[in-house]
Structure 1
Amino acid sequence: MPENRVDLGVVTAPSGVLVLGMASWIDYWPRLGGSLSRRAAAAASSGGGHVHEWLCEMVAVPAAVDVPLTVRAGTAASPFDGGPTIATLEIDLGLPWSSAAEGDGPKAIGDLPVDPCGMVLGDAIALDSWTGDGRPSDDGLADVTYWGGYADAAQREFGGEFIPRHNSRVRGWLDLPLEEAKAIGGSLRAWSGDEQGRGVMVAVEEHTDFHRFSRASRAHPLLVGAVEVAGCPVMGIGWDSGDHSIRHRGERRFGHVYPVTLERDHEGRTALRWTIPPYVPGGGTA
């Protein structure tokens, strides 16, 4: 089945090194002894490579420092709900293809699993500043959302606006001062909608780069969101949880990893390409 092509936007790499990595672990690299950018620069110095330590994984490649880098996707139907999902991710690196060094290509530089929390694409040094899931709010704000069978009654009691999300919508408040958000969340959790003590599900999400990417991606059909990190545009790429459970669950431990290559595009430039093969029922991917 032919892919549909979608323009996703642009990123930049002022350090000259572009990273595609697992969103769950972007800010964990320093705990393993040294920054993400140092490891990424070492991998990129040989033309590009894969870095894997503990649960942290990324690929890093050289990229032009002074131009926007266009990001595109090829999509295929999800085996979960039939909606579009990313089958290929392609990034123009802004550099000419060197046939003398690489031949006609493609050049394999590793593989990556699909992180259930999404993937992050951006400049290596900018990502040293990334604030991940579970970190304290970096701007003193938080979002409060709630949902469930008693949400109508909770809205009559507490208020809150409808907030659209991919394939659903919740209610709540965005950009509240942190202490106010925690107080509202506590009140919602303590509230009972009936005599059996049943209420609503509640999330208090402190603002971090991870949360901003997740929030920005929720209305996009491919769950793609752009955020600014250390002054650089960074792209987050999510996956529907149902689609992930069918196609990618278990990740590297179960062999669910997908090739990353450098390729020559039709204009003679170098592109980074991540390819996720079509799903085969009962057999994973083709």
Structure 2
Amino acid sequence: MTALVHADFDPSTGTVSYVVHEGPGSACAIVDPVLDYDPKSGRTSTASADRLVAFVQGQGLHVEWILETHAHADHLTATAYLKGRLGGRTAIGERIATVQGVFKSLFNLEPGFRPDGSQFDRLLADGDELRVGRLVGQVLHVPGHTPADVAYRFGDAVFVGDTLFMPDAGTARCDFPGGNAATLYASIRRLLDLPPATRLFMCHDYPPQGRGPAWETTVAEQRAGNIHVHDGISEDGFVAMRTARDATLGMPTLILPAVQVNIRAGELPPKEANGVAYLKIPVNAL
């Protein structure tokens, strides 16, 4: 079966969320959904997620999986909200436990928070299969941006998470805890060894001036034209470029609120005695 792909772009965070399905009335998977968050007021909202709900319900789809490519630093996930609205099981790469351990310490989270991935319904290893109706997905472990990144391959469609951007935007940063530029290079080359016509779907797009948002490309297009990692770029050259570039980048605007929510599979921290949930901001820790 050929996977049909519905994309939803969130301009506030540059994130693209996807619904993967066979057609009206079929099973589906949702990949990397966004929970809207206003950092000025600390309020969440669900306009982005509700667009996915409307598409799923309008097509008569049945949600089998809500998939995360990793614990994102640039947006909050709507996984928990969508599971409550649409059902389905949640999944992420098994190395999420490593990321949870780092951030449990950074945020000094409550003793009851377990850094073992148990917040998700399934932890995925490299080579695992996911069934979505008649579609069969394969999990590809693609670390480098973080230790836990995975990509999802459904036939000729691959959801690459934070590994590649569009060819004119390059590749993801590697300076988060556990990130490594040489590891990312190996992960990217694994993706670019897939057949040339393979469709690659980006998790984010930060378009250069002069073009609008875009999120679909191919292996052939990336190998020919990615500004950071086209054919002919060596590992040493990539690592030198990526390391120098990362040193100039500021932290993502939403990294502190986002990670706290995303390592909990989209749940907010437990409410305190006054009935309010709080997100922590560690001072002088990053």
Task: Please indicate, yes or no, whether the TM-score normalized by the shorter chain is above 0.5.
Answer: no
Report which structure shows greater RCO (CA 8 Å, sep ≥6).
1
Name the TM-score class by shorter chain.
Answer: under 0.3
Q: Answer 1 or 2: which has greater strand percent.
A: 1
TM-score (norm 1): 0.26
Structure number, greater radius of gyration? 1
TM-score (norm 2): 0.26
